Amino acid sequence: MSRTATSVTKVTVLEKIRQAVIDRPAQIAAAKKQGQKVVGWLNYFVPEELLLALDVIPVRVGVGGDEQLVDIGGRYISTKNCVFVRAAVGLLGEKKDPYTPLLDLLAVDASCLQVFRLAEVVKYYFKYETLILGVPRSFTAPEGQAYFRHELQDFTAALEKFSGRKLEQAKLKAAIELLAKIRESLQYLYQYQSQDYANLNWRDVFEIVHAGFYLDRAEYLKLLQELIAELKELPEDKSKIPGTEPRVFISGSQLSPGDVKLINIIEDLGGKIVGDDLWTGLASYLDIQIAAPTVDALADGYLARVPHAALPYLNISTDSRIKKLKELLGRFRAQAVIDHTLRYCDPYTFKAGETKDILNNEGFPFLEIHTEYASSDIEAIRTRVEAFLELVRTRNDVAGGI
Amino acid sequence: MVTATKVFTYPETIKADFLKTGGLKFGDGTEVSAEEIWRFMTEEGPRRFPHAFDASANSIGKLSDDVTFFSGIKRAYLTLTMKDRLYKAHDNGVPIVMIQGGQTLDPYYAAGGIPLRPGYIMQWARDVEEGLNLREIDNRGLEILESGRRKVSIEACNQLAAHAAVANNIVPVDLIAPYLCLRCSDMSFLVETHRHKEDQRPKYLVDFPINQTGKPWTVDYLAEQLRGLVKEVAKLSKKEVTDEVLRAEIKRQNKARKLAQEIIELWWSAEQPPLNSTDFFSIPFLANDFVGDPQATIQVLEETKKEVEYRVQNKIKGTGVVDNAKRVFVCGSCVGPNSTSVERAGAVLVGRDDNFSCNSVLVKEEGDPYRNLAEAILAFPYEQPTEQRAEWVAEMVKKSRADGVLFMYNWGCNYQTAVGRLISDIVKDKTGKPSTFVEVGELGRSEATEQSENRVEAFIEMI
Amino acid sequence: MSDTEVKISGNVVAGVDVGSLAAKSVVIVDGKVAGYGLIPSGFNSEETGKSVLQHALNSAGIPREAVKYIVATGYGRISADYANKTVTEISCHARGANFLYPSVRTIIDIGGQDCKAIRLDSSGNVVDFAMNDKCAAGTGRFLEVMSNVFKVKLEDLGDLALSADSLVPMSSTCTVFVESETISLIARGEKPANIQAGIHHAIANRISGLFSRVGIESDVFFSGGVAKNKGMRKSIQEVLKVNIVEPTFDPQLTGALGAAAIAWKNAVREGVCQEQQPALQK
């Protein structure tokens, strides 16, 4: 099988980022010796701004694609939970990866409630210290917003106690600025990869996003800026002929680091991925506007962005998640959508049908891929993706159709 | 047709005593005599709802065999006539509201609505057409469930059927407005599915702020959400809902909650179970769901308490319970074992964490009723973080002198199964009692349920 | 089916469909079906493909060398060095159904390992499709399991279901559930025909779930091996509330026929075959 993991032109900063990821666990271990604390976090609403301002090291926890971790996790949580949740329990229980042994605290917000259960389970069985951040399901109601401000204040107080530091406004301001620049850079890279003749493809950018789960955030920003400077200097990659590959957008819940089954299949079959709205991809970095260096402003900013699908929204015509999805399809010139959901991930699975209806009406073919980490369905997924790409090729007359 | 259907009948020998117990008074001012109840349960009921009187099948919704427990007959009457009352109320402009199990019902009734949990909505939906036997209503139920699965997903839990019944206008529901308890992660998504491809009816969600202990702002949040809920219901009922109205409703429902607590304590205190599992497990339902009419239901609870007191004093055992029955406590999500098969296997059901929870907390009667309700809801033991909930379950297991814990959950339930092992381990640790897990795949059917019954029976044999 | 007059023109193409349970091949000469083959799938899908192609050629009386273009489809398409091109069975079923019945807009295909709902346009292009998830409920394999439980031949299951006098409600969630439910129902003395009717209904329910995603439009065509099961046809018509067109050609060959039709189109486009005047496409 061919892999298009790296682009044709050697982008040197991409190699530097990869090396930095390899070096990162040792770096964190050294920082811990100097007394710094490490907070692993899960879900969608934990503001890294707070962690950085309190000088703790944030690590975004969770890997995908590892069936063995799923089996281990399933012994503690249930086989009716999605594989990401089961694998995360397995990961946190096994502690065989480079990061989990370094964690001093696990911070979890309650957007996805299965992840909240995960926190309960690992606290009991593996003795993690955990901190829960409540998230309002009535997130557009004023009382929901007030609740979230209180929750984040409480969360901050707990983090202050944990870190032994007081939150300083200047530090919070600096952290807000740093993360805003990271988000801006990542959005630039997403836009860049979707262009013809780009020297990076979506997969590279997705990998770069995941590097940001672990790297020192200031160092990460430097690397992103260096990378952008390099890309601006590099000659266009004229080895690719535009218009020969169907342009596919991946929508849905999440693909965590290591979950490459679907990505490999799409690329092997000649599809070009041009964007995503995954919460392990672009979605986490979109539209966070923090108006002031205060905890309340953080709360407001996080709550107002594109909602996680686990937060119910009862009026489809004003659902900003769907609106954002349509906007991204246009921005990345997508021709079709592959919707990825994990088995037992109810919020995304239940919404797949209506999302399909809406996007079909907008003229986008839509393929639902509902899967787990096991390799047993690779051939079945290949057939679906292959037939879908045949459909897109025929429909858009990409390279003559079938 | 199902072959050789045995029809369940109430023996004429009890009629005279039953008639002495008097009739029932309803919330809309109407009354029904004991004579009329008897007529319904022996003539009209069997004709209109043959499935309920099928004595040959070991069905889950079977009428209790304990015919001298007269409150049980009245309860069955309320259940079978629920449909008629709901249609009548709806025609008179009373909004019917879809909710979920395990929550308080005070705001809905105070605001002039009738709240129905998914189980009652499905009962109504299956009984729209009358004269059906067990197999026919099962097929009706399955057809509704499958239409929901087609629209949403096969991974949704059983509750989906009730949503499909509403979406397809099989029953007239005016508002979808449940609380989001900590019990269920599907409910919010299922409410959301009504936003697409169906008649738009009002929807409202009352959020449940998790990890609520020691956080006064969760009360503020929930109280405000409850205010919003009352407004939504009142918009439809056109009723003015003052704080006084809500306080009065809280008082009325506290009475039901207290009665349920007292009956449960009485039952637990008895040497021999004074009611069988079917009758005993119906008590928290009565006190929390009201079969669409709190007034009549509270009357039944009062009469139940008297009958149970009498039986405890006179050491009378509920029909169907064997001597020295093994005592099983039920834990988990919105599903319980088949009482009849549990008793046939030599056991009796002594408690259930799910719907014993919402009756275990009384709402304060003085002061801001919204805050009082919010405080009570946030104190429901079933809705606490899992370790706290498990501690409470362990206490209940001890109090009910259970011999074992049965953790049951519905197909598709992600959220209760996630902590099934955690609860079992803690309960085992605190009480030393064994436990087992049963996934129920039959999804609300009443026939061909041997699969989960076999597992329950094997567990009972083990203990 | 075959027309000896047109065989000699040399415009021969073939479609080969190697599925999980059976391999099928159709030979087209000058745009018309000239022969076909149907054999059980062996372990080696390359060999199976070649073998079924030979069967089809033999039935048409055409030598292997005469074949100008081959399209392979089905699970076996990944090892089909004999083919000029591989196309998924989804596109092939659409083309095959369109070749036979141009008015077909919806296809139900139940194969050995999966089932599919396909929507197509008037040219036989796929507009939308859905396939069942990894679970076996709703597939040919599942019916095979049931025929073992009932000790009835697979092809007789449908007739058994048709003779039911009532329908036992069954889970549609999981094959394992259904299998154990079935065993307890048999133990209770339930009529096998009624259980079978319940099972067929459960499978139809699973399949109808796919159509909620892609929609359904007349005419509806039922392809694949299970299409020969009359009980299944009836259950699907009841659950989906649609009429299914009566097949005039073995529905199990639809994929292979579509592959041959695509082969013909490509052969003409690439100039290895010439379209006859007037066009002979049915």
- DSSP secondary-structure letter at A97? S
Q: Which of B344-348, B436-440, C27-31, C69-73 has the lowest mean pLDDT?
A: B436-440
**Contact criterion met (CB < 8 Å) for A141 and B224:** yes
3.40.50.11890, 3.50.50.60, 1.20.120.450, 3.60.21.10: which CATH number matches A12-167? Answer: 3.40.50.11890
Q: Fill in the DSSP letter of residue C244.
A: B
Q: Inter-chain contact B411–C209, Cβ cutoff 8 Å?
A: no
For B118-135, how does the pLDDT look when each residue is reduced to its tens digit (9 = 90+)? 999 999 999 999 999 988
How far is the alpha carbon of A284 from chain B, nearest alpha carbon, in Å? 21
Contact state of C170 with B1 under an 8 Å Cβ cutoff: no
Alpha-carbon distance of B447 to A347, in angstroms, equals 31
> CA separation (Å) from B12 to B37, B52, B68, B73?
14, 19, 11, 14
Cβ B334 vs Cβ B101: under 8 Å: yes
- CB contacts, 8 Å: B448 with chain C: 168-170, 181, 184-185, 188
pLDDT at A5: 45
d(CA B383, CA B396): 15
Report the 3 state secondary structure along B11-35. Answer: CHHHHHHHHHCCCEECCCCCEECHH
Res C147 pLDDT > 90: no
Q: How close is the nearest chain B Cα to the Cα of C174, in Å?
A: 9
Q: Which residues in chain A have Cβ-Cβ distances shorter than 8 Å to C213?
A: 353, 356, 368
Contacts of residue C133 in chain A, CB cutoff 8 Å? 343, 370, 377
Indicate the CATH number of C1-101+252-282 among 3.40.1350.10, 3.40.50.2300, 3.30.750.24, 3.30.420.40: 3.30.420.40
- DSSP assignment of C33-96, as one string? EEEEEEEE--S-HHHHHHHHHHHHHHHHT--GGGEEEEEEESGGGGG-TT-SEE--HHHHHHHH
Cβ atoms of residues C3 and C257 within 8 Å = no
Residue C135 Cα, gap to closest chain B Cα (Å) = 11
**Percent of chain B whose predicted confidence (pLDDT) is above 70:** 96
Residues of chain C with CATH 3.30.420.40: 1-101+252-282, 103-244
Chain B partners within 8 Å of C169 (Cβ): 135, 138-139, 141-142, 445, 447-448
> What is the ipTM metric for this complex?
0.94
Tokens of A219: 């160092």
Distance from CA of C240 to the nearest CA of B (A): 11
DSSP codes joined into one string, B97-155: EE--SSS--HHHHHTT-EEE-HHHHHHHHHTSS-S--HHHHHHHHHHHHHHHHHHS-TT
What whole-number distance in Å separates Cα of residue B251 and Cα of residue A359?
A: 51
**Do B423 and B407 contact (CB within 8 A), yes or no?**
yes
Chains contacting chain A through 3 or more C-beta pairs under 8 A: B, C
C200-229 burial code (b ≥16 CB/10 A, e <16): bbbbbbbbbbbbbbbebeebbbbbbbbbbb
Contact residues, chain B, for A138 at CB < 8 Å: 205-207, 225
On whether any CB of chain A is under 8 Å from the CB of C133, the answer is: yes
**Nearest CA-CA distance, residue A326 and chain B, Å:** 17
B154 to chain C nearest CA, in Å?
A: 7
Would you call C123 an interface residue with chain A, using a CB distance cutoff of 8 Å? no
Q: Which two tokens stand for residue A153?
A: 């204040």
- Residue/partner pairs of B47-51 with CB below 8 Å, 24 or more apart: B47/B131, B48/B80, B48/B130, B48/B131, B49/B80, B49/B127, B49/B130, B49/B132, B50/B5, B50/B7, B50/B131, B50/B132, B50/B133, B51/B132, B51/B133, B51/B134, B51/B136, B51/B137, B51/B446
Extract the tokens encoding C114: 């999966």
Chain C hits for A338, Cβ within 8 Å: none
With both helix axes pointing from N to C terminus, report the angle between C175-187 and C140-150 in degrees, rounded to the nearest 10.
20
Tell me the nearest-neighbour CA distance from B193 into chain C, angstroms.
14
Give residue B401's pLDDT.
Answer: 96
pLDDT digits (tens, 9 = 90+) for B206-250: 999 999 999 999 999 999 999 999 999 999 999 999 999 999 999
Strands (E), A279-371: 336-342, 366-371
Of A343, A365, A379, the CB nearest to C128: A365
Q: Which of B147, B149, B184, B185 to mutate to test the interface with A (most CBs of A within 10 A)?
A: B185
**Cα Rg of chain B, angstroms:** 21
Nearest CA in chain A to B216: A150
Neighbour-count burial of B58, counting CB atoms closer than 10 A to its CB (0-12 exposed, 13-18 middle, 19+ buried) = middle
Question: Is B360's pLDDT higher than 90?
Answer: yes
User: Considering only A261-265, B1-5, B369-373, C52-56, which range has the smallest mean pLDDT?
Assistant: B1-5
Cα of B92 to nearest chain C Cα, Å:
36
Q: Across residues C218-242, what is the average pLDDT?
A: 90
Question: Taking CB atoms and an 8 Å cutoff, what residues of chain B touch C173?
Answer: 154, 411, 441, 443
Distance CA B349, CA C11 (A): 77
Q: Which residue of B has its CA nearest to C171?
A: B442
Taking the whole predicted model, whether its pTM rises above 0.90 is answered as yes
Q: Where are the beta strands (DSSP E) in A205-345?
A: 247-252, 272-276, 336-342
Residue among C91, C126, C213 whose CB faces A368 most closely: C213
**Closest Cβ opposite residue C208 in set B141, B150, B441:** B150
Q: Which residues in chain A touch residue C89, judged by CB atoms under 8 angstroms apart?
A: 383, 387
Task: With CB atoms and an 8 Å threshold, state whether B189 touches A154.
Answer: no
Weakest-pLDDT range from A179-188, B11-20, B410-419: B410-419
B158 contacts: CB under 8 Å, gap ≥ 6: B118, B145, B334, B335, B410, B411, B412, B443, B444
Measured between CB atoms, which of C87, C90, C213 is closest to A353? C213
Q: How far apart are CA B231 and CA B238, in angstroms?
A: 10
d(CA B419, CA A123): 12
Q: Are A133 and A45 in contact (CB under 8 A)?
A: yes
Percentage of residues in chain C having pLDDT higher than 90: 51
Q: Is B411 on the interface with C (CB under 8 A)?
A: yes
- CB-based contact A120 B153, cutoff 8 Å: no
Contact A390/C at CB under 8 A: yes
Residue B356: is its pLDDT beyond 50? yes
Looking at residue C182, its pLDDT comes to 82
Count A/C contacts: CB-CB distance under 8 Å: 52
pLDDT of residue C7 exceeding 50: no
Whether residue C212 and residue A353 make contact (CB cut-off 8 A), yes or no, is yes
Query: What pLDDT does A190 receive?
Result: 98
The CB-side HSE value for C201 (13 A sphere, CA atoms) comes to 20
Please check whether residue B53 is in contact with residue B63, taking contact to mean a CB–CB distance below 8 angstroms: yes
A3, A12, B401, B453, C229 from A8: Cα distances, Å = 12, 12, 71, 62, 53
Whether B156 sits inside 8 A of A154 (CB atoms) is no
Q: According to the model, what pLDDT value does residue B157 have? A: 87
Nearest to A143 among B194, B221, B420 (CB): B221
Instruction: Check CB contact under 8 Å for C131 and A380.
Output: yes
Residue B211 Cα distances to A119, A245, B217, angstroms:
12, 49, 12
Q: pLDDT band for C134, please (50, 70, 90 cuts).
A: low
Burial status of residue C149 (CB atoms within 10 A of its CB: 0-12, 13-18, 19 or more): middle
Instruction: Report pLDDT for A227.
Output: 98
Contact assessment for residue A380 and residue C114, using Cβ atoms and an 8 Å cutoff:
yes
* B315-343 residue pLDDT tens: 999 999 999 999 999 998 788 888 888 99
pLDDT digits (tens, 9 = 90+) for B148-202: 988 898 888 888 999 999 999 999 999 999 999 778 888 999 999 999 999 889 9
Return the amino acid letter for B96.
Answer: I
Instruction: Count the residues in chain C.
Output: 282
Question: Measured between CB atoms, which of B139, B149, B451 is closest to C167?
Answer: B139
Residue B201 CB-half CA count within 13 A: 22
pLDDT score recorded for residue B43: 97
Which residue type, as a one-letter code, is found at position A336?
A: A
Distance from the first to the final alpha carbon of chain A: 21
Are residues C88 and A390, on separate chains, in Cβ contact within 8 Å?
A: yes
Measure Cα distances from A192 to A232, A274, A323, A327 in Å: 10, 10, 22, 16
B209 touches chain A (CB under 8 A): yes
CATH 2.60.40.4070 fits C103-244, yes or no: no
| Contact check, Cβ <8 Å, C126/A387 | yes
pLDDT for residue C138: 66
Determine the straight-line distance between the first and last CA of chain B, rounded to whole angstroms: 38
**What are the φ and ψ backbone dihedral angles of C20, each rounded to 5 degrees?**
-75, -30
CA distances from C202 to B142, C139, C153, C178, C232 (A): 10, 11, 20, 9, 10
A387 CB neighbours in chain C (<8 A) are 88-91, 126, 129
CB < 8 Å from A in window 171-200 of B? 180, 185-186, 188-197
- Tell me whether residues C213 and A356 touch, CB distance under 8 A: yes
Residue contact A316–B193, C-beta within 8 A = no
User: What pLDDT score was predicted for residue A1?
Assistant: 37
Residue of chain A whose alpha carbon sits nearest to that of C211: A353
Q: Do B210 and A114 touch (CB under 8 A)?
A: no
Residues in chain A, pLDDT under 50: 1-7
Mean pLDDT of B104-121: 97
Alpha carbon of C218: minimum distance to chain B alpha carbons (Å): 19
Q: Which residues pair with C16 in a beta bridge?
A: C25, C72
Q: Are B225 and B209 in contact (CB under 8 A)?
A: no
Cα→Cα distances A113→A45, A137, B144, B407, Å: 13, 11, 28, 20
Q: State pLDDT tens for residues C179-193.
A: 777 887 888 788 889
